[in-house]
């Protein structure tokens, strides 16, 4: 080794070495080949310990890999598979998988046709997602991005999906908060956390999302659906920029390397809905996160990831400060494949709500005229207020899809006209949905194929539905 720009080192005398190969230093540290030029090799090391110029390096003829298997469930590990929680509980899987894998081509994929429930009524009714979709979650710092993802994890894990959370250069307090949430909800043993802190080596931080995808691909091959959270890719891009500048790569826009779009697109293309020989189809749903500054959606990395993904959920700081949770800006949020997964009833409800809320926002601008408003306008304003109060949902609460549709139908038909009654009915319905006998009643309401028939079913059963408010 003839030069060090920590964590990048420059090596000579390694013939036949290949990119992404693991190299071993004489002090026992490991690194990864980052680039190759004539007679010289660039490598990035995974630890903070300094390496002296002149140190000897040897090849291993192995690619960077991570242990994969069901043994990882319930554990927090680093991107190389080293446990970060008490080691006595950890059993290392026998199988390993390379962090970097070529995405499956189009012949091995299937159309996204199954909806994905987040448990968040605003998302499920207005910005629906599909199983295998890549949906960007974007917003300013402290706008509830992680809280929204926690609700989604809770909902999906209870439906039998494996959740993999990649915490990229996060504070240890943030990782602890996530672990505590999983413990309180009793779902720790169904989630895998791959975590790095800002104090780790940039080389290790860079590997975090790749480790998450490698683990998800293991479960995909076993026929198990998975949900991957990448929190967040803007931080990942910054550390990749640091590595590239230290390796003397030519900087592009905002000093990011020229291949930043390729890096993120290759990573996110590993998610999708795939053919499987045993179960027919299996999915990796990916929710990458981007943190922006002062609501600026035009940044280089954010527009890159918007172009790669199948839509985005925009969390607006202005809506957050008004007390709305989740603070989703509905007009600026997009889902490109989610609506195709809805049945006719859900699609008609989505269209009805979208049209109504667009009209409500226009009427709200007229509300300062006060007494000059017609009774119909006042009624629509009150109804719109109640709809938004229904969408205002604490992150610990998950609402089943059937309860979302029933409650929304009751609100739009004036069967519920105040927040207290709505909250009591909602809690009673969520509780009742857990009972097999009552669930049959809800399923009978959903047998119709269109919104008109569904609304009629709700009207016919209004007394039974309102009675659920007494269960709380």
Domain spans of the chain? 3-62, 66-341, 345-471
Q: Does residue 219 carry a pLDDT above 80?
A: yes
Tokens standing for 443? Answer: 């399923």
What local confidence, expressed as pLDDT, does residue 1 receive? 81
Asked if 401 and 377 touch (Cβ cutoff 8 Å), the reply is: no
Closest CA to 161 of 129, 137, 184: 129
In this prediction, residues 321-349 reach a mean pLDDT of 95
Is the pLDDT at 456 greater than 70? The verdict is yes
> Alpha-carbon distance 178 to 189, whole Å?
13
What is the reported pLDDT for 397?
A: 93
CA angle 344/453/355 to nearest 5° reads 55
Rounded to an integer, the average pLDDT of 194-202 is: 94
3-state class of 283 per DSSP?
strand
**DSSP code for 49:** S
pLDDT digits (tens, 9 = 90+) for 267-321: 999 999 999 999 999 999 999 999 999 999 999 999 999 999 999 999 999 999 9
Topology given in CATH for the domain delimited by 3-62: Elongation Factor Tu (Ef-tu); domain 3 (2.40.30)
At 191, the pLDDT band (50, 70, 90 cuts) reads very high
> What gap in Å lies between CA 201 and CA 261, rounded to an integer?
23
pLDDT higher than threshold 90 for residue 472? no
% of the chain surpassing 70 pLDDT:
99
Mean pLDDT of the chain: 93
**pLDDT tens digits, residue range 36-66?**
988 889 999 998 888 889 889 999 999 999 9
Fold of 345-471: 1.10.1140
Cα 357 to Cα 117, 300, 322, 326, 331: the distances in Å are 22, 31, 17, 16, 10
For residue 45, CA distances in Å to 56, 82, 165, 187, 208 come to 14, 16, 24, 35, 14
What percent of the chain has a predicted confidence (pLDDT) above 90?
78
Whether the pLDDT of residue 395 is over 80: the answer is: yes
Catalytic residue among 20, 59, 336, 347: 336
Q: Which residues of 48-67 are buried (b: 16+ CB within 10 A; e: fewer)?
A: eeebeeeeebebeeebbbbb
Residue-level pLDDT at 163: 98
Count the alpha carbons within 13 Å of 29 in the hemisphere toward its beta carbon: 22
| pLDDT tier, 371 (very low <50, low <70, confident <90, very high otherwise) | low
Helix (H, G, I), strand (E, B) or coil at 273: strand
H and E: helices and strands count for the chain: 15, 19
Task: Please state the pTM of the whole predicted model.
Answer: 0.94
Please compute, for residue 264, the number of CA atoms within 13 A of its CA located in the half-sphere on the CB side. Answer: 32
Verify whether residue 336 is a known catalytic residue: yes
What does the pLDDT read at residue 412? Answer: 94
Number of Cβ within 10 Å of residue 355's Cβ equals 10
- Which strand (E) or helix (H) includes residue 68? strand 65-68
What topology is assigned to 66-341 in CATH? Rossmann fold (3.40.50)
Q: What is the pLDDT of residue 470?
A: 78
């Amino acid at each position: 080794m003839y030069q060090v720009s920590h964590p990048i080192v420059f090596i000579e005398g390694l013939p036949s070495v290949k990119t992404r190969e693991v190299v071993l230093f004489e002090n026992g540290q490991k690194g990864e080949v980052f680039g190759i030029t004539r007679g010289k090799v660039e490598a990035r090391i995974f630890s903070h310990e300094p390496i002296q110029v002149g140190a000897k390096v040897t090849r291993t003829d192995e690619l960077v890999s991570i242990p994969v298997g069901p043994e990882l469930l319930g554990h927090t590990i680093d991107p190389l598979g080293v446990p970060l929680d008490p080691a006595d509980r950890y059993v290392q899987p026998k199988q390993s998988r390379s962090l970097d894998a070529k995405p499956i081509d189009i012949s091995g994929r299937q159309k996204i046709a199954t909806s994905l429930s987040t448990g968040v009524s605003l998302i499920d009714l207005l910005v629906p997602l599909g199983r295998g979709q890549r949906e960007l979650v974007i917003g300013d710092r402290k706008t509830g991005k992680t809280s929204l993802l926690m609700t989604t994890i809770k909902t999906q894990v209870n439906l039998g999906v494996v959740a993999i959370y990649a915490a990229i250069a996060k504070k240890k307090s943030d990782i602890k908060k996530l672990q505590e949430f999983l413990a309180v909800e009793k779902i720790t043993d169904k989630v895998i956390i791959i975590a790095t802190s800002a104090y780790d080596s940039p080389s290790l931080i860079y590997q975090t999302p790749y480790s998450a995808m490698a683990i998800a691909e293991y479960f995909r091959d076993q026929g198990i659906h998975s949900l991957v959270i990448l929190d967040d890719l803007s931080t990942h891009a910054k550390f990749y920029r640091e590595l590239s500048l230290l390796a003397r790569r030519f900087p592009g826009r905002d000093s990011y390397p020229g291949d930043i779009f390729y890096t993120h697109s290759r990573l996110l293309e590993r998610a999708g809905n795939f053919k499987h020989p045993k179960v027919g189809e299996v999915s990796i749903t990916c929710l990458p996160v981007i943190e922006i500054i002062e609501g600026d959606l035009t940044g280089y990395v954010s527009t890159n990831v918007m172009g790669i993904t199948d839509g985005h959920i925009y969390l607006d700081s202005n809506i957050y400060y008004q007390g709305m949770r989740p603070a989703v800006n509905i007009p600026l949020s997009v889902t490109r494949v989610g609506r195709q997964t809805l049945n006719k009833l859900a699609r008609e409800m989505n269209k009805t709500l979208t049209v109504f809320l667009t009209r409500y926002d226009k009427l709200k601008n007229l509300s300062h005229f006060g007494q000059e408003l017609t009774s119909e306008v006042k009624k629509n304003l009150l109804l719109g207020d109640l709809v938004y109060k229904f969408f205002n949902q604490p992150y610990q609460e998950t609402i089943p899809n059937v309860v979302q549709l029933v409650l929304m139908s009751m609100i739009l038909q004036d069967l519920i006209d105040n927040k207290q009654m709505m909250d009591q009915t909602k809690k009673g319905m969520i509780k009742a949905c857990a009972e097999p006998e009552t669930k049959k009643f809800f399923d009978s309401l959903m047998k119709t194929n269109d919104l008109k028939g569904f609304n009629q079913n709700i009207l016919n059963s209004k007394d039974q539905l309102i009675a659920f408010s007494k269960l709380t």
